[in-house]
Chain A
Amino acid sequence: MNIIVCIKQVPDTTEIKIDPVTNTLIRAGVPSIVNPFDAYALEVATRLKDKEGGNVVVLTMGPPQAEKALRECLSVGADKAYLATDRAFGGSDTLATSYILSQVIKYIEKTEGKFDAVFCGKQAIDGDTAQVGPEIAEHLDCAQVTYAVDAEWKENELIVKKETDTGYDVLAVSTPCVITVTKTSFEPRYASVKSRINAAKATIGTITAENIELDVSRAGLKGSPTKVKKTFTPKVKKEGLIIHESSSEKAVKKLIDALVGVSEN
């Protein structure tokens, strides 16, 4: 199978703290990681390759330093990596991002051949929109399956298990298709010393706006229908009734009295 996995380098949002004085995000020292859902997507793609043979290409759109994330992917299963980077891509919302990525994928296909599937993480943990995957599918005019937890190749179709609100669906999908992956029951593989060394030495293909067919009016801030009006840090802190009691019995009694009081009012 010939698979391309779209990944994103994100700040580790579990490490982000709010400055209590200025009430702004503290970004300094926050490590950049491969978006965890993308790591699952790469693992599912790599398992398919291990079983069926083929090629796994990783792609990211971002600043030059996103190359580090691509090398991480190369150390855990990806065969080739491409970085789409250009000022013209900056400031894109999901519609513009997915448009650019779909054009980049078409460009990469000239070298790597047609892809059977595009894999993405369900969502990136910085933006959390879960929109880019389905929008790439729409731009490429192909089938999509979101919230996938596993995929196997069978008689020229992908058999995908997806999480639904009530359980799971098992779907047969014809290729080419876009699959977005949520947390799987297995963890992504670890890099070996050797795979790390190879990844460090690998050549990463760079793609700019000039390389691809791009309608610039559909890219970047200008090509983004959504505009961020303002950002702010959420207010928390309720004045709740917090019970400290020497005995658990007393504490529970106090809680129940308070709750019953509420329901009777």
Chain B
Amino acid sequence: MRWLAFLKTKGATIDMEVKTKDLWVFIETTKDGNARNVGLELLEPGRLLADAQGGKLVGVVIGGGVKSAVKSAIAHGADKVIVTDHKDYSHYITEYYAEILYKLIKKHGPTTILIGATNIGRDLAPRVACRLKTGLTADCTDINIDAESGNIAWTRPAFGGNLMATILCPEHRPQMGTVRPGVFKKGEADFSRTAEVIKENIPVKKDILRTRLLKEINETANELRNIENAEIIVSGGRGLGQGENFSYIQNLADALGGSVGASRAAVDAGWIPHSHQVGQTGKIVGPKIYIACGISGAIQHRVGMSSSDIIIAINKDSSAPIFDIADYGIVGDLFEILPILTKEIKKLREGEAS
């Protein structure tokens, strides 16, 4: 087992020329050229780590028509932004993005790179890390500087969240890691900030393309789906008893203007599609409020939502592990509690509106 077999290697040399001490944050963009939250979130720990490493904090933006993302990166603290902007790159294609990011890294030589652990980030980062023959730590929940060696100390869950591991990449540069969305909180935007913007026109030959996009099925219109960016999530689990009872969850989510999540048990029972699943084998979320209803809180679920700002649990079993991480909890029957809570929330919001 690799986890147990760690041996410290000493006296090795770094095998890539490090041109700068800069730390890069990959600013993932939406199709309309805005920055996705995760990249902006990563500028927060990025700032501290870049200062500790004595380098600049650099945002890297790849896309088509991404002026808005560049502005956001600067407003959220980037000292410098490197941007490759071309209409061909407006939709994420592995081969294009991997080639561009690889070339940018070879040219500018950052020492550390942070990438959001989204579907795109987890597709792109290993491809680029492998091309660079460097180490990549996936799905980090904490990033620090290792006091002893000065390397980045990447901390991540393993074994379904039962174990945490701190990982170093001592002999290779850049050191790369993907970081889960919602783990770090986005700072306040300051649009009066200015920063150097370097435009890198990286032409990529179309003949490297071995994949073609045939169709895009966008489901963000469906409020139900997109839980990764939701500020409020109401989740249901086994305690709902049957699929129809997700209406209790939906009603509360609607009253709060939130999205619907689910535990693996509810997904496995076929009550709700997998895209709603929160947890190790589903989505990792970090909303402002997470309400877990009828979810016992197995560790595999907790690793998917434990970085939420406020966790509220409703469960009839007072010994359910979800209460261990809840900021607030009600022990009781969710079929009674949820309608009352929904009604009270509606009253409060009407009060706000009037």
Contacts and interface: CB of A to CB of B under 8 A. Distances in A.
The dominant DSSP class at the B interface is mixed
Given A91-B2, A125-B281, A128-B139, A13 B300 contact: yes
Contacts, number: 269
Given A90-B5, A238-B324, A183 B129 contact: no
A95 interface: yes
B66 to A, nearest CB: 17
A51 interface: no
Contact of B218 (A13, A25, A166, A236): A166
Contacts of A230: 165-166
Contacts of A25: 159, 162-163
A183 B169 contact: no
The dominant DSSP class at the A interface is mixed
Contact of A226 (B168, B310, B326, B344): B168
Given A130-B138, A135-B126, A226 B160 contact: no
Contacts of A240: 311, 323, 325-329
A261 to B, nearest CB: 11
Interface string A116-147: 00000000011111111111011100111111
A207 interface: no
A69 to B, nearest CB: 16
A228 B167 contact: yes
Contacts of A249: 340
Interface string B126-141: 1101110111111100
B159 A126 contact: yes
A171 B159 contact: no
B332 to A, nearest CB: 6
B131 A138 contact: yes
Given A94-B136, A234-B161, A125 B280 contact: yes
Contacts of A193: none
Interface of A: 11, 13-14, 16-18, 25, 36-37, 90-95, 98, 125-135, 137-139, 142-147, 159, 163-174, 177, 182-183, 221-222, 224-234, 236-238, 240-245, 248-249, 251-253, 255-256, 258-260, 262
Given A13-B280, A225-B134, 7 more contacts: A92-B2, A98-B130, A169-B217, A226-B168, A227-B169, A229-B146, A252-B337
Interface of B: 2-3, 5-9, 36, 92, 94-95, 118-120, 122-123, 125-127, 129-131, 133-139, 146, 153, 157-172, 210-220, 225-226, 228, 274-275, 280-281, 298, 300, 302, 306, 310-312, 318, 321, 323-333, 336-337, 340-341, 344-345, 348
